[in-house]
Every structure is written in structure tokens, then in C-alpha cells.
Amino acid sequence: MRVAVFALGGTISVSGRARGERLTGAEITSAVPGLDTLGVTLDVRDVHAVPSGSLTFAHVLDVVRDAARAVAEGADGVVVTQGTDTLEETAFIADLVWAHDAPFVLTGAMRQPSMAGADGPANVLAAVRVAVSREARGLGALVAFNDEVHAARWVRKSHSTSTATFVSPNAGPVGHVVEGRVRVLAPPPRRGILPDAFDAERLDAVRVALHTVTLDDDGAQLVGLDGTHQGLVVAGFGVGHVPASLVPVLGALAERIPVVLTSRTGGGAVLRHTYHQPGSETDLQERGLVNGGLLDPYKARVLLRLLLTAGADRDKVASAFAEHG
């Protein structure tokens, strides 16, 4: 079996030798006990050595393209090591465009390699096992962490330091690694794959803002947003509500750019037809906001930016969120 490994930096690569120095992908993988007994040949590539907050959509899409080439040349699966801070977003970017059955598995670490109980080696071992697992084929992008397997479309980073930080509030883990065996218990359904039409220049031209609605929010931040941004995701209260005072500004924006409504709660869906007061989900939908469904604000922003970069109009945006949300 063969796995293509792409090293992108993150805590898993912090060397502990000199400040700012990073481990290479070969150093990360060679420090994993038991990896050499799996009978898996690793093709390790150092792509970036950065904190994950410095990754871009273009970086991720380049990795996906290189990974697709590796699979076409015979790799059975793909592992990406990166920082955990943005992993819930990068994983979803990959998931939306990954058109192969071969598992695309992302992982990282919460503890630096030199710390007691460093989790990087166990996570890499689990990720490689998932990457070559028959059970994980056809499931798109997955996150292997803490011996759990999460679907890219549901996974969230839920804690700033815990090694159990990755959770899927709406679905739970789709599988587990038990005594080295990958058990997929709840395979996530695959949604439509977006055709790859994303060069860096087009991505740069599409800005999607995310506005989290807060108590007594007067919406001043949103005024004129359509002059600088091509789309907006609103993280509303609860089931998708905003203060009544925000309705005019959101309605006006929705006439000019796609505005997607999500929930700031971290779990559950935006409702469609339960409340009717000004600022409710029905009111905002009538004013043209697109219902983000079960997608959290960060994932909704990923989907909207890719759709707009691909040239989607309002109807295409609405139908894509109906499918993915």
C-alpha cells in the first residue's frame, strides 16, 4: 500500500530545538512508533511549514491537486499534516473538491513533539491507517484525531488545548480506530463535488465576510459591505435570528450579494418556517437570505467562497446550500 503525505506545518511540526524551527514531514513520520510495521510506503512531501492560520484556500487546493496526481499515479490514500486551528475549514475545502475514492485524511497535534504525551505520532499512525482502509474509501475528506474519524463536513475544533478537541456536534465521529483497526460506523453521505475552477487570482478576487450577530448589534459593521465583499455569511442567534434593527441592512445586502444565514450556536440547523417576527428565519429568507441548514458559519463561508469563485449566481448558491446544508 502507498500513501502520499503532505506536511504543512502546525504544532505537529514544532521542533523544540530552536525557536521557529520546524520538523520536516520525514522527521514527523519517522518518529511514529509502529508506522514502519504497517507495510505502507510513504511518499512524504514538505509543502509548507507554517502555522495553520497562515494557510490559504489556494494552498489547500494546490495540495488537493497534487494529491489527486499522487492517487492517479497509484497512491492508495492521502494524509495531510497541518495545524489544528484551521483544520475544520481546510478539511471542508478538500472535501468539496475531492473527486476520488481514495481517502483524503487530515491530522495534526495539540501537543508539540517535545512535550510529555505528544499526540502527533498517534494521530499520524491513525491517519495512515485510515488512508489505507477499505472502509474509509469513497467517504471524501476525513479527519483522524485522538483515534476518532470525523467527516470533514461536520468536524469542529472545540477546545483550545485538549487532545480531544475535534468533535462533530451534529453527527458524532463517523468511525474509530480500535486496536489499529479502522471501524467506520456511520459513513457520511457524499454530496456533489465542485468542479475545480479555482485559480489563486480568482480566489483573491472573491471576499466572503463572516458576521457574528451579538446582543444589541446595530449592524454598523455591515454598512457598505457589498462594496468590498462578494458574499456574506451571518452567524445568527439560535435557529437563525437577528435583532429586528439588523433586518434592513441585511435585506439591502441580500439584494446585491449572496447572504447566507447560519447559527452561531455551534450545533443544530437554521430553521425554515417556525418563527415569523422581524429578524426571524422566515423574515430573513423572505428578504433573500439563503438558509445555511446544518453548516456552521465557517463551513458555510468555505462553500460560499468556492461557489462564488466558480461564478455561481444566486440560484446556484441557493441550490448548493440546499444540497450541502
Annotated catalytic residues are 11
Spatial separation of the C-alpha atoms in residues 162 and 310, rounded to whole Å: 37
Assigned C-alpha cell, 60: 489547500
Identify which range of 47-55, 73-81, 225-233, 296-304 contacts ligand ASP by CB under 6 A. 47-55
Burial class of residue 153, CB neighbours in 10 A (0-12, 13-18, 19+): buried
Chain residues 82-101 in contact with ligand ASP, contact rule CB under 6 A: 83-85
Contact 130, 143 (CB under 8 A): no
Cβ closest to ligand ASP, residue 115 vs residue 252: 115
Contact 16, 113 (CB under 8 A): yes
Cβ closest to ligand ASP, residue 241 vs residue 301: 301
Compute the least distance from the CB of residue 53 to ligand ASP, in Å. Answer: 6
Give the residue, chosen from 6, 44, 48, 52, that forms a contact with ligand ASP under the rule CB under 6 A.
Answer: 52
Residue 11 binds to ligand ASP (criterion: CB under 6 A): yes
Residue 113 binds to ligand ASP (criterion: CB under 6 A): no
For residue 158, the one-letter residue type is: S
Residue 110 binds to ligand ASP (criterion: CB under 6 A): yes
Nearest-CB residue to ligand ASP? 83
| C-alpha 52, offset from chain centre | 12
Cβ closest to ligand ASP, residue 157 vs residue 305: 157
Nearest to 81 by CA among 119, 36, 38: 119
Give the residue, chosen from 3, 47, 49, 51, that forms a contact with ligand ASP under the rule CB under 6 A.
Answer: 51
Chain residues 64-83 in contact with ligand ASP, contact rule CB under 6 A: 83
Total residues contacting ligand ASP (rule CB under 6 A)?
10
Assigned C-alpha cell, 199: 485559480
Chain residues 239-298 in contact with ligand ASP, contact rule CB under 6 A: none
Spatial separation of the C-alpha atoms in residues 168 and 184, rounded to whole Å: 15
Spatial separation of the C-alpha atoms in residues 19 and 1, rounded to whole Å: 36
Cβ closest to ligand ASP, residue 85 vs residue 147: 85
Q: Half-sphere exposure of residue 250, counting CA atoms within 13 Å on the CB side?
A: 36
Which residues bind to ligand ASP, rule: CB under 6 A?
10-11, 51-53, 83-85, 108, 110
